[in-house]
Every structure is written in C-alpha cells, then in structure tokens.
Amino acid sequence: MNSHAIEVTGLSKRFGEVEAVRAASFRAEPGRVTGFLGPNGAGKSTTLAMVLGLSRPDAGTARIGGAAYRDLDDPTGTVGAVLDSTGAHPSMTGRGHLRAYAELGGHARRRVDDVALTTGITEYLDRRIRGYSTGMRRRLALATALLGEPSVLVLDEPSNGLDPAGIVWLREFLRAFAGRGGTVLLSSHVLTELQHSIDDLVLIDRGRVAWSGPLDEFTGAASSLESAFLAHTMEVHP
C-alpha cells in the first residue's frame, strides 16, 4: 500500500461571524488510526471538507501525500471519504450505486462485489437504497469509499447509525487497514467510542486544535481519558 500522510497547516474557515476553524494544524500518519475528537460544532466536518477539497479554506493548507486533494492524480484511488452528507440516490440499488461510482473513478467493476463483501452488504446489493437502514447506508458509503483501494481514509462520524456489532466490525476493519500501512482520519464527538479505536488523537474545540499526539500520552498522568479530556478542555475555556 502506498503511504500518504495527511498534513493540515494553519487551516482556517469563517462562516460570517462564526470562526468555524481557527489556524488548525495537525498530521495523520500512515500506519496509524487518528481520531479527530470534539464536541458538536467544534469544526470537525468543516475541517474534513477542506481536507477533501470540498470547501475552500480562508487560510492554510491541507495536503495528502504532499499534494492538495484537487491536485491528486488519482483522487478516489488515493483517498476514500465518508462524510455525514454522503448521499446515494434512493431509487438506485446498492449495486447500481457502486457500479456508477466505480465507473466514475475508473475502477474495475469486480470491485463492486469485493467492497460489498468487505462491508457486509452483499445480500442487500440488489435492493433499492430507499429501503436501507441507517447502518446499511453507512456501510454502503464506506463500500463506495473503498472502490479505488485507497491508502487513505477520511471518515466523518463513521460510527453514527451503526449497531454495537457494526462498531466493533468498523474498529477491526480500520485497525487492519492501518496495519497494512494505510492512513485513517476519523471524527467523533464521543470520547469513549474512540478510546479503543485510535492510536493518535487530535482534540478540536471551538475551531482550535486543543491537543494532538499519541493517545497514551494524552491520558498521561490523568486517571482516565475522561479526566484528561476535561483538563484539556478547561485549558481552552478557563
């Protein structure tokens, strides 16, 4: 697997009066799962949209393997993305959806069956997406992201809508992906959900990166991840 780090430097974005992201800098490394943690409205989705070239920063840069997303030679073969807004047309079948995206990305049609198997949606492939449950839609979005065999995954709240078995499956999947040298950046607003899933943590609060580094260093002297989290967020809101 190619290795590509994600490198965010001084990224900023304002919506009118709201400074959604304020000079955010952090890295997500190959071979590691990086959790992007912050409360609702902290700026996670805005940051990930800029990393994926879907939103233009007011300042700063986001690079994947040294290049901006829009400059990648093979974007869907490099980065797989699942955003909150990832939509699929309800009247299509899962198979139709995946075939269309395989075609768009220039990926072999056999990948459709491969990614369906990987994400556990094989038996739903020929049903219309309007009949999919929330969890099945999340799996379909992940399957779509995997079509190009990317070495980088950018996932916005990927556990939303997954049942406990789905959450465990996703955790194991991402661990194995990083184990093969892949780079994973995933956001969450739930601390306990990330606890057993990530190697590195980037904590964002009101648009600012409040802390980043290996998860074990974050817990550090604190008795638990929760108390470390409270200590760090109190630094931000004295």
Q: How far apart are CB 50 and ligand ATP at their closest, in Å?
A: 10
Member of 30, 32, 34, 45 binding Mg ion (CB under 5 A): 45
What is the nearest approach in angstroms of Mg ion to the Cβ of residue 45? Answer: 3
Look at residue 117 and give its three-state secondary structure.
Answer: helix
**208 touches which of Mg ion, ligand ATP, none (CB within 5 to 8 A by kind)?**
none
Instruction: Name the minimum Å distance from CB 42 to ligand ATP.
Output: 4
Cα–Cα distance for residue pair 89/132, rounded to 1 Å: 11
Q: Does 236 bind ligand ATP (CB under 6 A)?
A: no
H/E element, 188: strand 183-188
**Residue from the set 46, 76, 144, 151 that interacts with ligand ATP by CB under 6 A:** 46
Q: Stretches 37-45, 93-101, 110-118, 215-223: which one binds ligand ATP (CB under 6 A)?
A: 37-45
For 238, the token pair is: 């004295």
CB nearer to ligand ATP: give 15 or 163.
15
Cβ atoms of 186 and 155 within 8 Å: the answer is yes
Stretch that binds Mg ion, among 6-14, 45-53, 85-93, 215-223 (CB under 5 A): 45-53
Dihedral of CA atoms 46, 5, 142, 56 in degrees, nearest 10, equals 30
CB 21 within 8 A of CB 61: no
Joined tokens for residue 125: 């492939």
Question: Least distance from C-beta 49 to ligand ATP, angstroms?
Answer: 8
